[in-house]
Amino acid sequence: MSDTKPLAQESYSPLEDIVTGYIKTQMLYVAAKLGIAEHLSEGPKSSEALAKAVGAHPQALYRLLRALENLGLFSEPEPGIFVLTPLGTDLKKDSPSRVCTQVIFNVELFWRIWGELAYSVTTGRPATEHVYGVPFFDHLKQHTEQASIFNEDMTRFITTMAPAVVAAYDFGRFNIIVDIGGGHGTLMATILQANHHTRGVIFDLPVTVEGAQKRMSELGLGNRCRCVGGDFFAEVPVGDAIILSAIISDWDDEKSVRILTNCRRSIAPDGRLLLLERLLIPDEPAPPTAILDLAMFVMGGGTGRTEREYRSLLAKSGFELLRVVQTGTQRSIFEAEPM
């Protein structure tokens, strides 16, 4: 009779999936860069044919495909032959989900930054300058392709948010609305289309406003909207209302006050400053956006803020917070008037 004892069942922690998350990210990145989903969208292909098409090592690519099959992106109906699954179509470059662009952008820009999270946590300083030698947005100025992807990603986010923002607030009472850091003009276009007598100004980096001007013209709004390039740390255009959407959360208090003070100089005496930002409520459990808050800090030293913190920040810049308008999205509208 055997006296062999059964092996003790190995313990498992859900943290193990998080610990190995970086492996899956790199798997997706390589598949996205090689365009595997595009090739498989044409029909089933062998790993050897795929390797030849994308310029990869056949055996190494086969092992990657098997690993991605485990994640549900591909299936292998017969040995060595792979087909695209519905989930795998999200990795195509033209997929509405834009996962392909996001994974490439995150790995090529943010991978090294997040690798220095310990630096940020122990020093209280953003990691971007530590890694790249310049602040985050200066790095984007030097890398126009990454800046373009960043602007596209922001446009996608604003597109989902803009209708709710316009529905939640009366923009029609203003003659001239200035959108600081307005990107390619998605929010401004939504405002102008809903308020036909209003005129707009999109203010952003010179390389960005070129795309904004083209977009406004395509929408038939070119005669109602100026697109101005500049630096909001120096000055901002004059307007009855000034919007800063997800701008102040990118910066620490000192830099935020500089931006807001420039807005105070340019806003009409009876105008309104409108901050579109996340509202932190410390007494509530941390929401999923808490990770985004950490990302803002690691990238540029920015932070989410409570209503009390925004009230204090605005007061230092010559504004009084009037109210916080909920939009039903991740962003609330902090409405302030010049004091």
Q: What is the mean pLDDT of residues 117-133?
A: 93
d(CA 14, CA 175): 55
Length of the chain counted residue by residue: 339
Among left, alpha and beta (phi > 0; psi -120 to 50; other), residue 169 is beta
Quick check: helix, strand or coil at residue 213? helix
* pLDDT tens figures, 212-267: 899 999 999 999 999 999 999 999 999 999 999 989 998 889 999 999 999 999 99
Quick check: helix, strand or coil at residue 161? helix
Cβ–Cβ under 8 Å, residues 177 and 202: no
d(CA 255, CA 112): 25
The predicted pLDDT at position 91 comes to 95
d(CA 114, CA 136): 13
Burial track 130-141 (b if 16+ CB lie within 10 A, e otherwise): ebbeebbbebbe
Kindly list the structural domains of the chain, giving each domain's residue range(s) and its CATH number in brackets, ordered by start.
15-97 (1.10.10.10), 111-338 (3.40.50.150)
Cβ–Cβ under 8 Å, residues 75 and 83: yes
Cβ–Cβ under 8 Å, residues 94 and 61: no
Q: What is the mean pLDDT of residues 37-50?
A: 95
The predicted pLDDT at position 10 comes to 64
The predicted pLDDT at position 151 comes to 74
Amino acid at 249: S
75 has pLDDT over 70: yes
Helix (H) or strand (E) holding 189: helix 186-194
Q: Provide φ and ψ at 332, rounded to 5°.
A: -110, 160
* pLDDT tens figures, 145-197: 887 777 777 777 788 889 999 999 999 999 999 999 998 899 999 999 999 99
Q: Taking the mean position of all CA atoms in its chain, how far away is CA 130?
A: 21
pLDDT band at 3 (very low <50, low <70, confident <90, very high): low
DSSP 283: T
> First-to-last CA distance in the chain?
90
**Paired strand residues for 45:** 82
d(CA 104, CA 88): 15
d(CA 152, CA 298): 21
Count of H helices and E strands in the chain? 16, 12
Q: What is the mean pLDDT of residues 81-85?
A: 96
The predicted pLDDT at position 77 comes to 94
Query: Mean pLDDT of all residues in the chain?
Result: 91
d(CA 181, CA 300): 16
How large a percentage of the chain has pLDDT more than 70?
Answer: 97
7 has pLDDT over 70: no
132 has pLDDT over 70: yes
* pLDDT tens figures, 275-302: 999 888 877 777 777 888 888 889 888 8
The predicted pLDDT at position 4 comes to 57
Both structure tokens of 128: 């971007």
